[in-house]
Amino acid sequence: MRRFLLALGVVMLGCQPAEKVIKVGLLLPTNASGDVATYSKQVKNGIYLAAKRANFRIDNRRVEFVLPEKYDGNPSSAPDALKELKEKGAKIIIGPLTSSEALAIKQEVDRLKIPTFVPTATANDVTKNTRWIWRICVTNKHMAVASAYMTQSFLDVKEVVVLEKEGDAYSKEIGDYFKKWAEEHGLKVVGVIVLKNNDFASRVGEILSSFTVPQESTAVLAPFYYDKTAKIIRTLRDSAYAGYVVGADGWDVPDLAKEVGKPAGDNYYITHFNPYDPLSTEFAEMYKSEYNEEPSSFAALGYDAFLVVADVVKRARATLTAEDIKTAAASIDVKGVTGNIELSNETRDPDTKSVVMMRFSDIGFQFIRRLAISPTI
């Protein structure tokens, strides 16, 4: 009798259903260096922290992450990396990292019909003319409108000079929508200067002579990444400019303070996240405990991307086909650490999401407040 029961137990154990697994593809560089490698690691850290808090499960499914091999973040390689993730069994994608990568995969995403959730790519056109890409971060247009509103309403600026860099889509998109909002709301743009290579120093006189009011009531919009921004701020302060310099998320790197030096003057920018924002302090403490460093916007957006994916999978039909996931993603409303993320099939962008207003001066970086600004203009 005992032998029979043991045999029966073995048979029953052998007949247990296989554990349900969902493979989440991370379209992130695995063979990159420099800033790209750093940002990729931060996004992945955020994703893994969110998954760890959920015990690497979404409802009754175990989460398994798959990554591309030898992908360096080059946009020309991004479609092949996406295809590789699909072949590895990914049902849903988080990534890629940059706007150029996101724009490069749009055709392949539509061909493969694989739901893709972009955490950090801000270019306006990432989600346009596709039914399969959703975005976690705000757009360049959104940041431009918030920057213009901040400049007029909080800094009481009367005149602005807008800087752009020749051939740079990021600065042009922010500059164009900043100007559009300014024109519609009475904020005077007294000059638009398109920079070429390293010619900023030779254009400072042109900037300063554009203003007709005291410099304390003026601003220079510098919508660039931190390294170029640092040179612009330093040059302006060395030329005794006393107004504000304003910008967007490209500034949001600690090295900005070191590269600008002192005196830095009074500068403000719009970004996605700050660890001292009351909305984000719990996440910031968890992240620091896990990785022994302060979280960046990249880490926070990675964390929120997993929250969105988990919400979508929970609400999708059990068959979990691509169409099931797309249907579940038709109306997303997730409370993230970077703000409330509300998406629809119409825009697939978080148009109602709040942004963070930051100050950068000689005392470092300061969280000022959150701004709830609609990008509609």
pLDDT in tens, 171-203: 999 999 999 999 999 999 999 999 998 889 999
The span from the CA of 66 to the CA of 48, in Å, is 12
Q: Name the CA radius of gyration of the chain, rounded.
A: 23
Angle of helix 34-53 versus helix 297-315 axis, rounded to 10: 40
pLDDT higher than threshold 60 for residue 13: no
Residue 22's CB: how many other CB atoms inside 10 A? 20
Per-residue pLDDT, 374 = 73
Retrieve residue 10's tokens: 């073995």
- Please give the structure tokens belonging to residue 86: 């699909």
pLDDT at 145: 97
> How many of the other CB atoms lie within 10 Å of CB of 344?
15
pLDDT of residue 191: 97
Residues whose CB falls within 8 Å of the CB of residue 111, separated by 6 or more in sequence, listed in order: none
Which domains does the chain show, CATH number per domain? 21-138+279-346 (3.40.50.2300), 141-271+356-371 (3.40.50.2300)
pLDDT for 193 equals 96
Q: What confidence score (pLDDT) does residue 4 get?
A: 46
Give residue 7's Cα distance to chain centre. 56
| Rounded average pLDDT over 343-348 | 81
Model pLDDT, residue 5:
46
Dihedral-angle region of residue 292 (phi above 0 means left; psi in -120 to 50 means alpha; beta otherwise): left
Q: How far is CA 283 from the centre of its chain?
A: 17
pLDDT for position 15: 54
Per-residue pLDDT tens over the stretch 29-68:
998 888 899 999 999 999 999 999 999 999 999 999 999 9
CB atoms closer than 10 angstroms to residue 356: 25
Which pTM does this prediction carry?
A: 0.92
Q: What is the per-residue pLDDT across 252-302, written as a single tens digit (0 to 9) for each?
A: 998 999 999 999 999 999 999 999 999 999 999 999 999 999 999 999 999
